[in-house]
Amino acid sequence: MSENPGKQTDQRYQLLSELAHKIFISESYHDSLRLVLEWIAGQIDPEFSECRSKPADDSSWNLTVSIPPQDQNYDPPENGFSSGASTDFFKPSLDVVDEVWVADLPSTDNTVLPNKLRNSNTFTALSLQLAFSNGRYDLFRFFYSGKNSSLNKHVSLLKKLLTDLKSLLKKKHEQHLLHSSFQMYRRLFDEDINPGFIADPDGKIVNCNQAFVDLFRFKSKKAALQSNFSDRFTNYMHQVFFWEALHRGEEINNHEMPASTVDGQNVYLMLKITCRYHEEDPNELKEVIGYIQDITSRKEVEDALRKSEERYRSLIETTNDWIWEIDENFCFTYTSLKIQTILGYDINSVLGESIFQLMPDSRRKNSESRFRALAREQNEFVREEHAFKDASGNLFIFETSGIPLFNNSGIFQGYRGIAKDITERKKTEKQIARLNDELENKVIERTKMLQIANKELEAFSYSVSHDLRAPLRSIDGFSQALIEDYGHSLDDTAKNYLTRVRSAAQRMSTLIDDMIKLAKVSRTTIEKKNINLSEIVESIGRGLHENEKERDAEFVIQPGIKAIGDKNLLQVALQNLMENAWKFTSKNEETRIEFGKTQREGETHYFIKDNGAGFDMNYAGKLFTPFQRLHKEREFPGTGIGLSTVQRIVHRHLGKIFAEGEPGSGAVFYFTLNLKPGPD
C-alpha cells in the first residue's frame, strides 16, 4: 500500500527544516556542502555516518566528492579523473545539470570508477550537480555496491527535495558571497589611502577609515564617529547644496569645496558621494557613502599660479615697456597695451599682422634680415635697437630683447620680447654728442690759450724773481755795510733797525725761492719708478741730526716701504714733511719721529708722526693753504709754503694728504700715492 502523500510531504518538510537549520548555522558554505553530503548519504543508508571512515568494501559506501577549494572555482580534468584518495573528482558519464540521477554499470564509463568497484558486478551510482550563475558548479557522486531495495524510494524522495535543497545551498552560497564581498569591501575601505566615510541622513558619521581620521585631525576614530560631517563645511552655501542634492536623490561627483579640520586648519576637498535608500521605501535616504580626495596642495599650487599670473599680467600692463609675442612667421600673437599708449595702434588691428609692417621703410630691410637670421639659429637677442613707426608715421627707436619660444616637442614657435622706448634717449645722446664736440673744441682752444698764459706766467715769474732778487740783495748788502762800516757811529736802535731790514730782505728772498719751487712742482714731468721711501726718509733724518747733533732725537723708520712715483718730487715732499716734524719738535727735550704705513678703509696710507707742538684740529683746513701758518714766526720760523708744496706733489701722484693732531701732543701727517706702474 502506498504511503499517504500528505505524510510524505510532512516528512519532506521536516527533513528540509532539519537540514536548513544545519546549513544556516554552519560557519561557511564549504561546511554546508559537507552537511548536505552527509545528510544525503544518511538518507540512503543510516549506517553511512558510522562506516564512512572505515575501509571501503563491497558492502560499504565509497563517498567520492568534488568540492572546489573554499572561495575558489575548480575546473574538472578533461579525462574525468584526478589522483587522490577521498577527494577524487569524477566527471559523470552523462551531461546532467541540477538533477539527481542513478546510473547502472553499462551506462557508466568504467575508467571513472574507484578501483574497488571496477570488478563489482552490481553497484549503484548516485550523482548530484549544482550550477550557479557565476559559472561555479559543485558535483556530488555516490557509489554503492550491493543491493539496496530501498534505494529507489530514497532516490524518489531526493528528486522531490532537489529543488528546495538547491535553493538552500544557493542561498547559503549567496550569503557566503555577500559576506566575502562585504569583508573585501571593508578591508579595502579601511586600508584605502583616500579618506572615506559613511554618514546617516543627518550627517552623523557612522563609519570612516583611518585616512578620514588623519585628514581632519581627529584624535581617534572614536572621536570621528562622534562627529557630524556638516561641521567640516566652512561655506554655508556648499553645505546647503550638499545636503539638498543628496535628499533629492542626486549623487555628487567630483565636487570641490573648502573645509576645515577639527583644529581649524583649512583644507580643500574633492567629494564623490553615493546614496543608499531603505528597502521598504526607495525614496527615503538611508545613508551616504563618501570618498574624499585631499586637493589642498593642488589648490595651493593653483592659487599660487593664479596669483603669479595676476602679478605677471599686472606687471606687463603697468610696465613702461612694450611686451610682445610673434609666431614663426613673425606675426603678432600677443601685444601689451603699450603698443596703443606708445605707438597709437589698436591691439586687435595688430594681432595677426607682421612685426615688419610696423617698421619704417628705410630700416625695415635691415631689421627683417636680422630677425630672420636670429630665427634660423633660434637664438635669443639682447638690447638690440630697432625702429618702429607710430600710427601717424612718426619714428620711434626701441631697445629690444627677445627669447625663442618652443612647443612641447621642441619645435620653434616664435619669439617673446620686450621693447623699451629709447627715442628721447637717442635724441639726448645726439645732443650730448654735439655738445661734447663743441666742448672738445672749446677745451682745445682754451688749452692753447692756457699754455700761452702759462708760458707768459713762467716768463713773468722768472723776470719777477730775477728782478726782485737784485734789489733784495742790494738792501741786504748795503744794510750789512752800514753795520760794518758805520756801526760805531750808530746807536743800538739804529743797529736793530738795520738788522730787522736785513732779516726781512732775507725772508723775502727765501719766500721767492719757495714760490719758484712750488711753481716748478706743477710743471715738472713725472718719471714713474719704484721708489724706496724708507731709504729717502732715513737719509733725510741723518742729515737733520748732523746739523743739530746736540739734540736728543730718535727716528723710527719702518724698513722696505716702497711706492710708485717720481723720485725727485717724492724727495721734496718727504724733505718738507721731515723738516716740518724736526722744526716742531725743536722745543722738546727728546725728539721722536716715526715713518711707516698702515691700512685705512682698504687703502695704504703712509705717515710721518712726531711728538712735537701739535695743532688745533679746528684749524686743520689751513695747513695746506699757501702762506697760512698756525704758529707765530718767532716760535717756529717758516714761509707757509712747504705743506702746500707737499700737497701739490701728492695730488700729482693721484693721492690725498691730511693731518691729525692735538696741541702739545704732536701731529701725524697721512698721505696716499696711487700712481700705477707703466706709461701714463
Beta-carbon contacts of residue 92 (< 8 Å; ≥ 6 apart): 101, 103, 127, 129, 139, 141
Say how far apart CA 444 and CA 281 lie, in whole Å.
110
CB-neighbour burial class of residue 30 (10 A; exposed 0-12, middle 13-18, buried 19+): middle
pLDDT for the residue numbered 180: 62
Q: Which residues of the chain have pLDDT under 50?
A: 1, 47-117, 122-123, 145-147
Domain 5-183 in CATH 3.30.450: yes
Secondary-structure breakdown of the chain: helix, strand, coil percentages, each rounded to the nearest 5: 45, 25, 30
The rounded distance, in Å, linking the Cα atoms of 566 and 526 is 5
Closest by Cα among 275, 236, 269 to 252: 275
- Euclidean distance between CA atoms 147 and 123, whole angstroms: 7
Q: How many CB atoms lie within 10 A of CB 526?
A: 15
Per DSSP, helices labelled H in 555-616 are 567-584
pLDDT given at position 45: 53
Identity of the amino acid at 81? F
Buried b (16+ CB within 10 A) or exposed e, 437-454: eeeeeeeeeeeeeeeeee
Predicted TM-score (pTM) above 0.85: no
Q: Do residues 165 and 36 touch, judged by C-beta distance below 8 A?
A: yes
CATH number of 526-671: 3.30.565.10
Place of cell 599670473: 309
Q: Are 114 and 63 in contact (CB under 8 A)?
A: no
Q: Helices in 216-360 by DSSP H: which ranges? A: 221-225, 236-247, 296-318, 338-343, 347-350
Residue 419 has what pLDDT? 93
Q: Could you tell me the fold of the domain covering 319-421?
A: Beta-Lactamase (3.30.450)
**Cα–Cα–Cα angle for 283, 289, 290, nearest 5°?**
130
- Asked if 646 contacts 657 with a C-beta cutoff of 8 angstroms, the reply is yes
Helices 492-523 and 423-486, axial angle in degrees (round to 10): 150
What is the tens place of the pLDDT at every residue in 446-476? 888 877 877 776 676 666 666 666 777 778 7
Amino acid at 564: I
The torsion of the CA quartet 570, 574, 580, 583, rounded to 10 degrees, works out to: -130
For 417, phi and psi rounded to 5 degrees? Answer: -140, 170
Grid coordinates in use for 404?
Answer: 625663442
CATH topology of domain 192-301: Beta-Lactamase (3.30.450)
The confidence score (pLDDT) of residue 404 equals 94
What pLDDT was estimated at residue 391? 92
